């Protein structure tokens, strides 16, 4: 891939481990042609991983400073990774609807609260995931996974965003269950139905490369590339970096795999618009 891009990234404004500028400088050094900042949008409960409501103006301000400073090196874009929460539905999406953002990423990290009312992140500690499956879904991993896709499809139906984040992220922790087989028809049907909705709503599916180095997997999993190709779903390769050296992690491998699955282009932002860029 000649025209390298990444539109899913974090920084000090949320749970990223460096400043926005450090990430941008790293992206410049790695030869990226376009880079998007997409901090976790503020949420209505206390957390360390999301931006604070008060910081949003400064987030935009810092972005515009960098956009100007690095305009000769690369295109910079500003977005947010927005959470679709079970009890709030698309409230966050509506809140930032009229802000001057270049794009929006929609994500599911929460599907149900614990009996105590506490939040539980499906992407968190594997042991907690296992315990919550016992507690909320009678130990039935299918029920948990179905619940995730139910929420995901609700978010997609709202269509108040552009890019679907890590579509099968629940598989990361579900994989520890012996009963979870990603090739079983109940599961592949869920993926197919979700992709149909993505297509209907004209959204982009990101291929999230964050876990390629650590787990050898992308979200969605490589097994679904041919299906997405067949359904003509536009895809975008994003690293979801939280550390500057993760800016292009797993991308080379992923572009190759997409090519093998028959993809000729990926969707990116160029000149302020979504366009299809040839992979080679
Ligand atoms: Zn996420
Ligand atoms: Zn992210």
SS (H, E, C) 155-221: HHHHCCCCEECCCCCHHHHHCCCCCCCCCCHHHHHHHHHHHHHHHHCCCEEEEECCCHHHHCCCECC
pLDDT above 90 for 269: yes
- Looking at all shown ligands, the one closest to residue 11's CA atom is 2
Q: Give me the percent of the chain exceeding a pLDDT of 90.
A: 94
Measured in Å, residue 269 CA sits from the centre of ligand 2 at 18
- Residue 265 binned pLDDT confidence (cut-offs 50, 70, 90): very high
- Kindly report, residue by residue over 93-139, the tens digit of the pLDDT: 999 999 999 999 999 999 999 999 999 999 999 999 999 999 999 99
Measured in Å, residue 39 CA sits from the centre of ligand 1 at 10
- Looking at all shown ligands, the one closest to residue 167's CA atom is 1
Measured in Å, residue 108 CA sits from the centre of ligand 1 at 7
Q: How many residues does the chain have?
A: 280
Measured in Å, residue 164 CA sits from the centre of ligand 1 at 10
The architecture of the domain spanning 5-278 is Alpha-Beta Barrel (3.20)
pLDDT above 90 for 1: no
Measured in Å, residue 210 CA sits from the centre of ligand 1 at 10
Domain boundaries, the chain: 5-278
- Kindly report, residue by residue over 53-93, the tens digit of the pLDDT: 999 999 999 999 999 999 999 999 999 999 999 888 899 99
Q: Are 96 and 41 in contact (CB under 8 A)?
A: yes
**Residues around the ion ligand 1 (C-beta < 5 A):** 107, 165
- Looking at all shown ligands, the one closest to residue 107's CA atom is 1
Measured in Å, residue 10 CA sits from the centre of ligand 2 at 6
- Kindly report, residue by residue over 191-242, the tens digit of the pLDDT: 999 999 999 999 999 999 999 999 999 999 999 999 999 999 999 999 999 9
Handedness of CA 234, 235, 240, 241 (dihedral sign): negative
């Amino acid at each position: 891939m000649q025209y390298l891009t990444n539109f899913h990234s974090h920084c000090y404004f949320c749970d990223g481990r460096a400043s926005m500028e450090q990430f941008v400088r790293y992206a410049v050094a790695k030869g990226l042609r376009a880079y998007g900042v997409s901090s976790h949008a503020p949420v209505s409960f206390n957390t360390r991983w999301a931006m604070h409501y008060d910081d949003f103006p400064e987030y935009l301000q810092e972005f515009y400073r960098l956009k100007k400073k690095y305009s000769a090196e690369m295109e910079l874009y500003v977005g947010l990774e927005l959470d679709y929460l079970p009890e709030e539905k698309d409230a966050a999406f509506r809140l930032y609807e009229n802000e001057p953002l270049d794009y929006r990423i929609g994500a599911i990290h929460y599907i149900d609260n614990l009996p105590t009312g506490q939040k539980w992140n499906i992407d968190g500690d594997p042991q907690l995931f296992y315990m919550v499956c016992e507690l909320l879904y009678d130990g039935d991993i299918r029920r948990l996974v179905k619940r995730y896709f139910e929420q995901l499809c609700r978010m997609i139906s709202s269509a108040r965003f552009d890019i679907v984040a890590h579509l099968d992220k629940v598989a990361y922790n579900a994989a520890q269950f012996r009963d979870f087989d990603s090739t079983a028809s109940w599961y592949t049907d869920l993926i197919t139905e979700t992709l149909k909705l993505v297509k209907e709503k004209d959204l982009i599916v990101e291929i999230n490369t964050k876990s390629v180095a650590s787990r050898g997997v992308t979200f969605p999993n490589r097994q679904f590339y041919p299906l997405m190709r067949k359904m003509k779903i536009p895809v975008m390769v994003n690293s979801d970096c939280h550390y500057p050296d993760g800016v292009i992690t797993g991308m080379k491998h992923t572009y190759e795999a997409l090519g093998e699955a028959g993809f000729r282009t990926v969707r990116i932002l160029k000149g302020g618009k979504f366009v299809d860029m040839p992979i080679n």
